Structure 1
Amino acid sequence: MTHPSAPAPHLRDLARLRRVRDRIDREYAQPLNVEALARGVAMSAGHLSRQFRAAYGESPYSYLMTRRIERAMALLRRGDLSVTEICFTVGCASLGTFSTRFTELVGVPPSVYRQQATQATAGMPACVARQVTRPIRNREAPAPEPDVA
């Protein structure tokens, strides 16, 4: 019999998942892998991956890469670092992987994004530019409205 004030197992898992997500948000530029994240919350890597995907709709690695790409987008808009410098600043170890992932999430390579975003966000406050230019995954794109002719 469990103690009445003890949190239910699924609530404990949700709290752990939130800690993992918060750690990714804070330490996105550090070398992070699923095993290290799982160790930090006393879960197996497989269990963490399954639970994280169920709770947030994507794997921990995918979430991490999205945070890195979001930060890279902000640095590209700023314009004072090269694409290579930005790649390493946000925690990516490979320029090729960074560019591929950036293109998948944003739709254009980092160098093209820099040119387009600089023009599109000119005069816009940084907080607004960040929200307007946030990457949208294909599964998050709004579904087309049904044709009811």
Structure 2
Amino acid sequence: MSDVPVELLPHLRRARDVADRNYAAALDLAALAAAAGVSKYHFLRCFAAEYGETPMQYVTRRRIERASDLLRATNLTVTEVCGLVGYSSLGSFSQRFTELVGMTPSEYQRTQAGLRIPGCFVFMLGLKSAIPEKPGDGGVAYRRTESPAEEES
């Protein structure tokens, strides 16, 4: 059990949820600490004590997990996946991916056999609705929840 005060746990979970939902956005320590409602240094210490990794290590791992899903399930290029998961540098993305997965993104994509969703569907339907969050989540959802006309009103 960690030494994190129990009353802080819901705040840490809220910040982790923000990181999970917005992994592709430009997240930094200050933004996540603000979501938790505590100072960034206190947040950093408590998050690392509770989850065993720093907030930015968590965001990086989350981005690479999502990139793995995209590389496995779609026919998107490595460069497209890099941008979709929040990296602006292909070199940084490839380095982190290789560190965490054990092979380059291109090698990983080549080793994954199976049906691939065309990239145009991913962009047309939206990233979140087209690709399952985790392997085994079931089929791929090709249906939009709102029509473009409903979004404008």
TM-score normalised over the length of structure 1: 0.72
C-alpha separation between the residues in 1 aligned to 2:74 and 2:10? 38
2:135 to 124, 130, 136: 130
Aligned residues: 117
1:31 to 16, 22, 26: 26
Q: Which has the larger radius of gyration?
A: 1
State the Cα distance separating 1:117 from its structure 2 match.
2.0
State the Cα distance separating 1:65 from its structure 2 match.
0.7
C-alpha separation between the residues in 2 aligned to 1:87 and 1:22? 22
State the Cα distance separating 1:101 from its structure 2 match.
0.4
C-alpha separation between the residues in 1 aligned to 2:106 and 2:74? 10
Point out where structure 2 has 5 or more consecutive residues left out of the alignment. Answer: 116-130, 137-153
**Residue in 2 aligned with 1:75?**
70
Contact 2:11 2:35 in 1 (8 A): no
C-alpha separation between the residues in 2 aligned to 1:89 and 1:35? 22
**Residue in 2 aligned with 1:93?**
88
> Letter of the aligned partner of 1:72 in structure 2?
A
Aligned-pair identity in percent equals 47
SS at match of 2:37: coil
Deviation digits for residues 37-64 of structure 1 (CA, Å, limit 9, x no counterpart): 1122221111111111100000100111
**Residue in 1 aligned with 2:56?**
61
C-alpha separation between the residues in 2 aligned to 1:96 and 1:31? 17
Deviation digits for residues 18-41 of structure 1 (CA, Å, limit 9, x no counterpart): 101111111111111011111222
1:110 to 92, 105, 108: 105
SS at match of 1:130: coil
> Letter of the aligned partner of 1:39 in structure 2?
A
Deviation digits for residues 62-81 of structure 1 (CA, Å, limit 9, x no counterpart): 11111111110111012321
C-alpha separation between the residues in 1 aligned to 2:17 and 2:34? 15
Name segments (4+ residues, structure 1) moved above 6 Å.
Answer: none
TM-score normalised over the length of structure 2: 0.70
User: RMSD of the TM alignment (CA)?
Assistant: 1.9
C-alpha separation between the residues in 2 aligned to 1:41 and 1:73? 28
Point out where structure 1 has 5 or more consecutive residues left out of the alignment. Answer: 1-8, 132-149
**Residue in 1 aligned with 2:126?**
none
C-alpha separation between the residues in 2 aligned to 1:82 and 1:49? 34
